[in-house]
Copies of this chain bind each other. A is one copy, B any other.
């Protein structure tokens, strides 16, 4: 299997599988666009508020998830998506606090920044517990994601969070009971990625019984 040779990268050729798009849309009056493929390394942080015993998560509109909710035959180029047939709510996900690695800081420093920017908690650097690193995917882009665990208190809350200027992120809090119900929903798609599910199950297995 390891006998690999003649490896060469070429620009994407005409393909029946790969159709990269730019999605253009207006959100709260602001025109935006999103390219439906990413390549940066990233960090993800499982945040647990020990003052009120809740997991701190983020909620946002994800164009790629929205696209995923639209029937293939309705994904026409240069043709507006019918937002009555496909409510934008379909694209709203619940995820771990996370961010891309695009600065010359340590991974823990980037994670600390994301906890502040997205969730409004100013945590000391040593509050970030390294969990592990893995591939963000295997079939598409496969950058490195680094997972951290971080306990916070209400005293550390210094701002509303919500992301930086061009982001629209809401903080969501869930108790352990609520999160158990959320991840085991039947009959609907859990609108969250596998990295979120990994983080939650890691928490349930490693932290939950000790808190």
Contact = CB atoms under 8 A, between A and B. Distances in A.
Interface in A167-192: 168, 170, 183-186, 188-192
A24 B10 contact: yes
A64 B4 contact: no
Nearest to A14: B22
Contact of A170 (B1, B60, B204): B1
Contacts of A59: 1
A145 to B, nearest CB: 7
B191 A67 contact: no
B5 A132 contact: no
B8 A12 contact: no
A26 interface: yes
A211 interface: no
Interface string A31-50: 10001111110000000000
A11 B62 CA distance: 18
B198 A139 contact: no
Interface string A1-28: 1111111111111010111111111111
A62 to B, nearest CB: 5
A159 to B, nearest CB: 18
B25 A6 contact: yes
A137 interface: yes
A9 B81 contact: yes
A76 interface: yes
Contact of A78 (B8, B133, B192): B8
Nearest to A13: B22
B6 A24 contact: yes
A80 B189 contact: no
10 contacts: A1-B27, A1-B61, A4-B91, A10-B22, A37-B140, A133-B188, A133-B190, A135-B192, A194-B197, A198-B201
Interface of A: 1-13, 15, 17-29, 31, 35-40, 59-62, 64-68, 75-81, 83, 87-89, 91-93, 95, 130, 132-145, 168, 170, 183-186, 188-198, 201-202, 204-205
